[in-house]
Structure 1
Amino acid sequence: MMPDTRTVDHVPVPGPAATDQRLPDDGRGMRRRRVLGWTVIAAFLILVGIAAALLSGIGAWNERDRLDPESVGPGGTAALVEILRERGVDVTVTRDRDETMRALAEAPATLVMADSAILGDDALQAIFDAATDVVLIDPRTRGVEMLFPGATASGFAPAETVDPECETDAAVRAGSVMPGRLVEPGTSDAVACYPSGDGFGLLTSSSGEGLTAAFDGRDLITNENLAADGNAALALNLMGRLPNLVWYVPSLTDSDIATEPTLGELTPGWVTPAIVLLGASAVAAALWRGRRFGPLVLERLPVTARASETMEGRGRLYESGRDALYAADSLRLGTLERLRRALALPPAASATDIADASARLAALPHQDARRLLIEDEPRDERELIALSDGLRALEAAVARGIRGEGDAQPEQTKR
């Protein structure tokens, strides 16, 4: 395969005049943009953290507000607690199971609490047993079954007031109320009051000196509903029998439910420090590499590249690709450019014009010149070599014609 036969000696490259020329964007501008970018990222992370804290706080406040004896919100029960204290009842609010057990052991007291999934069956039963009176203000099936064996929680009452229709003194003196969630006495010996729908709004049971009651306090004793109907009277009659009252709000630390080991507990101790170390290394690497980026600078390149090296490299590429047609096009482009300059033709001259002018000067048929410079398509290396020889002979014939030497016709054409 014949490589490009152009006679260029050197390839022009940028000279030293372009060395160390900086782009218009200086280092101070890039530093300002970098600082601004990090500031925006930090501000975004801070805003996300604040939003998450606010959302979690709102959720925690809503959970505490529901039937919380210290909450003055619509769903709290602080108003009922203040009324009980005004009536001479010593109300103690506890949020710890051990503290609750100690308070109940000091003197006969009424326990007021909502059934909570935080406590296991044994812990809940122990608290019930420690109290003299028990008032369950958020009855669920488990708590109702513990207080009234055979009873259960059922659906919800329609939005209408109902009369007690029972002999329980606390309900009779309170009058009509609008129940929320209903309970069903089932096979228990509990007294059911406030019939509505498929259940009752109140279950009570007396044993010795103690009283046990269960009703849905969410629609009766909250701050927003306490003044309606006989709600306040019913709550005071059930909770104010004894001089001491313990209002227990279970917390997460009170849980006695055995849980499966978490992923953190199953993970070896060295994993967390390794993750932290890898994260710190990644951040340090990012900062280190980020500081290396600066303004672009034009650097000095190698001064010269020999044309023979470029020609040899291109020739090896064409040979490895076995693209004879592309190599032929490269040879023709170089030959056409050299012939145009030798014939003093304008840069806009077409390949046909160059071929015709070369044919006239070399005393060749126009068709033969066009075949060499335009039309022939070599299919393999043998035909490519023949084309390269023909182009070289055509250039030599044109050069002789320019010099005025006789018989400028190429030898291959003569044969």
Structure 2
Amino acid sequence: MSAVTDDTTRADAVGGRSTAAAPPSGRLGRALGWLAIVVVVVVLALMSLRLLIIAPDLSGPLNPESPGPNGAKAIAELTRQEGVQIEITRSRTVAAAAGGTGSTLVLTDPAALSDAAAMELIESADRVVLLTSSARMLRLLDLGERGFPAGLVSPGCDLVEFSRVGSIDADRAFTPASDVTGCFSDTRGDAAVLRSTDAQTGQSITMVDATGLLANQHLAENGNAALGLALLAQTDEVVWYIPTFEDGDRTDGAPATLGDLTPDWLTPAIVLLLLAGVAVVVWRGRRFGPLVAESLPVTVRVSETMHGRARLTAQSADAAHAASAIRDGSRRRLAARLSLSPTAAAHEVADAAADRLRVPRGSLHELLAGAPPHSDHDLVDIARRLADLETAVDAAVHTERNLP
């Protein structure tokens, strides 16, 4: 029990006050308070869940809604500025219905779709742009084979939309099939862009590995932006399909959900732990009732606390602890007399006292912050010297104040 606590206790006892807090309002008020907290938590949880549900999924490369480095929002906005309307969908049914005459179907690798579903979606559009280097799509559409990285290449083909596109640094080139037109070809004859046109239906399919060309972080390089407009801005409407596993008809490649990765016993165990936690809260919470006011049984004087501490220190023969307390008290008293901060360090107080007493600086460091005593005789000597120092400083300060 500290001296501050004793003073406060004594003041409370003398003034007739009680240290116990006043009892709170009735049970109805507490119940309403807890009910308000529960309502706020439920509302915040519902709002967070709603935000998670309505927030669009921006993951995946070349997402036209993603402003990230690997997204394709920049080329989508440039295409809109050309007067092209872009419809973004994650449903292949909507994409198949919208991809008719006068529109362009844009999609990346539809890995979540089976071969039949992917071909059905592609056959529903008159103009298809594949922004992928998928070997499966090359095989299904009979466009050719995958080649080596092309590097910096120029159009080099008769397609009008690519005539004003500059050079591009293609990450992947393809070996075009015999009836497929290759643009942006290298010295080996591999092309970065493949174009296949059906003579009977007039359907055109363009394939390019655009992951490093039309992504936001690379769009301003070389002729990438012009290539993107040449691919997307040739019709008045673009249907951009974002493949997802939820919309796909394949289950072998779908990522495992959290329920698939956890054992069957985990959910019952979590529920049981929650119920046990609620039971513990109810059990222990009933032990805390309202505070009851009661009178203090006794008043403890500060002097009694001081004498008690002194007796404990003497019984334990802890000369080092006693010396530390004596030095700390002398340091605080000297700091007050020398107009220093109460938190001034021992060496600062020692130097200020040395200046007042006109003795060399450093001569008092050992006294105020030296090594702890090893015996009671050393402790008595330190206490006597500290008392003499305080007396000398008092005399010096008093003399300076009385000088005219």
Q: What TM-score comes out, normalization by structure 2 length?
A: 0.48
Q: Which has the higher contact order (CA 8 A, sep 6+)?
A: 1
Q: What TM-score comes out, normalization by structure 1 length?
A: 0.47
| Larger Cα-atom Rg | 1
